[in-house]
Structure 1
Amino acid sequence: MPSKRPRRKFTDEFKNQMVQLYLNGKSKSVILKEYELTPSSLDRWITQHQQSGSFKEKDNRSDAENELIKLRKENEHLKMENDILKQAALILGRK
């Protein structure tokens, strides 16, 4: 079985250079071969650049996604508070 290639990390500068190559007319297939990139990575970088100009995931989230994340955090906090109150009620009920 062939060994998996280690996951590579790319700087924002490198990602921007790849997007600029594509925007200046270089074909995706040539960029992918030359820099040994995956098609999904290059496509994601191009999309992120067009949407917000940033390659950070948090900058490319929609308002609905941000709201969902906020509500999930709030829900977890409320569950924790509820568990604490249940424990307190059990302790006080025994006395």
Structure 2
Amino acid sequence: MVRNQRKYTDEFKNTIVELYNSGKSLAELSSEYGISKSTINGWIKNSRPVVIDEGKVVIMKEYKALKQETVRIKEKNEILKKAMAIFAKQ
């Protein structure tokens, strides 16, 4: 069962994260905008910077997407390797 789930724009999420970073507490943001603390906490977590190389920084959301893409590419490579082995036998 899905309760009343609202969709928030990326712009709105970024605004809430910026307000948090500027000093507003989770409790203040939650009561002011009617958003649960856990939802806001997730947005904050996803916007945290992750250092991947010297001088290269991405946010957690981008990092997770890159990891998922890497897994998909590895799976495709395994499938292609198996297909090449089958065609090489013919």
TM-score range, shorter chain: 0.5 to 0.7
Report the Cα distance in structure 2 between the residues aligned to 1:66 and 1:15, rounded to whole angstroms: 24
Structure 2 letter corresponding to 1:31: L
Partner of 1:86: none
Q: TM-score, normalised by structure 2?
A: 0.59
Structure 1 alignment gaps of length 5 or more: 82-95
Which residue among 11, 20, 24 is the counterpart of 1:26?
A: 24
Shift in Å at residue 34 of structure 1? Answer: 1.4
Aligned length: 79
Report the Cα distance in structure 1 between the residues aligned to 2:70 and 2:29, rounded to whole angstroms: 36
Greater relative contact order (CA < 8 Å, ≥ 6 in sequence): 1
Q: TM-score, normalised by structure 1?
A: 0.57
Report the Cα distance in structure 1 between the residues aligned to 2:47 and 2:37, rounded to whole angstroms: 15
Matched, 1:42 2:29: no
Name the structure where helix makes up a greater proportion of residues. Answer: 1
Aligned residue runs from structure 1 range 54-93, under 5 A: 57=61, 59-61=62-64, 64-73=67-76
- Larger of the two Rg values belongs to structure: 1
Matched, 1:15 2:13: yes
